[in-house]
A and B are shown apart, each in its own frame.
Chain A
């Protein structure tokens, strides 16, 4: 066939729609034409998204502009974000997410590059480890780190027995920002590997051969070709890692039970707190978080689209 399939598909769809529309409603109004041609198998999906996505988000937006989520119109709920309690938790969340995203992205990219070079059984074992650990998170992950780096964890005891060095309580504690960073890295690294592996596996060996034939050393190849091509998928993955950590709640809750103030934990406090529950403030915080997540996911999507041009 000479005609590209997408063009045919589109053209056929238009013919389809026109045919259906003219048979049901003789082109009365554009709206009736639209309704007449509504493909019914997608209706349940649309209803579901309306009920569980659009309605709840709309209610959050409405509540965020009302006093206590039900009174008169106000902007005070958003102004409350400037209060130290909320502002610090937001700052903590952003810093922790950015830090673990950067560390996880660099480390994970190296791991992905190393896994691509492995073959056979070693590669299968490593992929198994990455796939399993990418699904290991939340409450049990916090526990696992307590078993390794807690006050009587394996590493803590090992360091004390071998080197006579006491980690706790002066030199290190797991229930700190450093500790939480280590725990977050545990789910950032496998995610980075899974996100970045397809991109780095498609880096065409022919490019490297061509570059070598033109006299480029592998350093020149990476600086001029490899890294520029990998920049977009790397940044896309970085943005997703940031969103991944920003929305996290159970892991930090399981580790510190709210002693480390993160934005998600503050929102959960608002939802759970029977006495001080202010739906207006909670909604404003929720929307702020959702907006930050949406922006980073959008960035990732746009960059991923750019990547597809290079790495087919």
Chain B
């Protein structure tokens, strides 16, 4: 990482030094305040989920795992968890199957299609959950009564297009797919070998970060799940919302379970991005989804 102020720290006269250090102090304060602001609600959720009673004193009166047991023992826990994992897995399989062939073709053969695909892949950013839910209901559910879970999964695929497209596109640009595959061809490699040994390893970081973002999306998506699939096919976030209106401590336990999952996904993303800074490891951000 680049240091912002690389100029020799001691060589400057006093007045400039003090001005710079006020800047540094300001940055420091902003950083510490933000770290507290971001960490406190996480820690409070964890503490709340483990506390026996925590409404009169500053620290909880005692600790227990009861809320976790109650959350998992509930009839709704496993069905909703499995549904969320099903929807996530299905979307994580379908999305690359659509995006990877299209982008390979664009990079290797048909670059003039790229602006069109880029435009189509970014449109979902402008369609928030409530809007998409209404559109899908009006277009497919009320006239044709299509399978709601199936349509929900396809809508998750749609939501994944902006970041899946960007991360794989960045990976293909970073390895210069066209030059590499031409070079491989000249060395006598067939298309199968090129795909397996050149292109696949090249897009792997982009593909992995796209899939991880789908995992984060599916675990927290509430608007579409509640408005489109609703009571017939409840997912994990819907169970969370229902639990929250009954008992905050059970809901906290569920939130911590979801948070742990998010933590694993986020740190894996960070790890991939850190290792592949020049290979398109950093994907687009899921704007507005889940918020």
Q: Footprint of B on A, CB under 8 Å? A: 5, 9-10, 13, 16-17, 39, 41-42, 44-46, 48-49, 52-53, 55-57, 59-60, 63, 69, 107-108, 110-111, 113-119, 123, 126-148, 152-155, 157-158, 161, 185-187, 189-191, 194-195, 198, 200-205, 208-209, 212, 217-219, 240, 243-251, 253-254, 264, 267-268, 270-272, 279, 282-283, 286-287, 289-290, 293-294, 297, 301
| Interface band, chain B | 35 or more
| A187 / chain B contacts, CB cutoff of 8 Å | 291
Interface SS, B side: helix
Q: A139-B241, A144-B45 are in contact. List 19 more A-B contacts (CB 8 A).
A: A44-B101, A53-B124, A60-B138, A111-B31, A116-B4, A117-B4, A117-B24, A132-B42, A135-B266, A136-B42, A136-B259, A140-B259, A143-B244, A144-B42, A144-B44, A154-B47, A189-B37, A248-B288, A254-B222
A59 engages B41 (CB within 8 Å): no
Closest A residue, CB atoms, query B215: A135
Q: B5-44 toward A: CB 8 Å interface, digit per residue (1/0)?
A: 1110000000010011001101110110011011111101
Question: Shortest Cβ distance from A236 into chain B, in angstroms?
Answer: 12
Among B5, B57, B270, which residue has its beta carbon within 8 angstroms of that of A127?
Answer: B270
B5 engages A208 (CB within 8 Å): yes
In chain B between 100 and 128, which residues have their CB closer than 8 angstroms to a CB of chain A?
101-102, 104-106, 109-113, 117, 120-128
Asked if B276 is at the interface of the complex by the 8 Å CB criterion, the answer is no
B291 engages A245 (CB within 8 Å): yes
Asked if B174 is at the interface of the complex by the 8 Å CB criterion, the answer is no
| B199 / chain A contacts, CB cutoff of 8 Å | none
B220 engages A137 (CB within 8 Å): yes
A222 to B39 Cα, complex, angstroms: 31
Asked if B136 is at the interface of the complex by the 8 Å CB criterion, the answer is yes
Question: Shortest Cβ distance from B53 into chain A, in angstroms?
Answer: 10
Asked if B287 is at the interface of the complex by the 8 Å CB criterion, the answer is yes
A143 engages B109 (CB within 8 Å): no
A207 to B132 Cα, complex, angstroms: 46
Query: Could you say which of B67-75, B81-89, B154-162, B188-196 contacts chain A?
Result: B154-162
Asked if B134 is at the interface of the complex by the 8 Å CB criterion, the answer is yes
B248 engages A264 (CB within 8 Å): no
Among A107, A123, A217, A271, which residue has its beta carbon within 8 angstroms of that of B19?
Answer: A217
| A204 / chain B contacts, CB cutoff of 8 Å | 2
A204 to B178 Cα, complex, angstroms: 31
B37 engages A186 (CB within 8 Å): yes
Q: B47-71 toward A: CB 8 Å interface, digit per residue (1/0)?
A: 1100000111110000000000000
Question: Shortest Cβ distance from B41 into chain A, in angstroms?
Answer: 4
A286 to B174 Cα, complex, angstroms: 38
| A131 / chain B contacts, CB cutoff of 8 Å | 266-267, 269-270
Asked if B216 is at the interface of the complex by the 8 Å CB criterion, the answer is yes
A143 to B251 Cα, complex, angstroms: 8
B1 engages A123 (CB within 8 Å): yes
Closest A residue, CB atoms, query B254: A140
A268 engages B26 (CB within 8 Å): no
Known: A41-B101, A293-B288. A128 touches B111 (CB 8 A): no
